[in-house]
Amino acid sequence: MLGRHCPDLDCSVVFEEKEWQSIYVIINKKSPPKKPPSLNAIILMIGKLGGFLGRKSDGYPGPKAMWIGMQRMKDFTLAWEAFHSMEKKSYV
């Protein structure tokens, strides 16, 4: 509901940096920006992870798409943390 009332709010108010960055990379296939995207943009990305198609007349993602998207976001965030922790260590 916050995304509907304050769509231009930075997503960093609700999501941790590692959460929104991992989603951004998975959906857009490019490096995350320095400035966090809007809350509305991240909500739509999470919805896409949950099966939301995002067509012109679809409106906002529903609770089921958001629930599935949030579960997948958690998995991507864990992978993001693991890969970034490996950058600091040498296994060779």
pLDDT digits (tens, 9 = 90+) for 34-76: 999 999 999 999 999 999 998 989 888 999 999 999 999 999 9
Q: Which CATH architecture has domain 2-87?
A: Orthogonal Bundle (1.10)
**In the chain, where are the structural domains located?**
2-87
Cross-strand bridge partners of residue 39:
none
Check whether 91 has a pLDDT greater than 70.
no
Reported confidence tier of residue 85, pLDDT bands at 50, 70, 90 = confident
Give the pTM: 0.85
Structure tokens that stand for 23 in this block? 């989603």
Q: What is the percentage of the chain residues whose pLDDT exceeds 90? A: 67
Place of tokens 């579960």: 71
Three-state secondary structure call for residue 70: helix
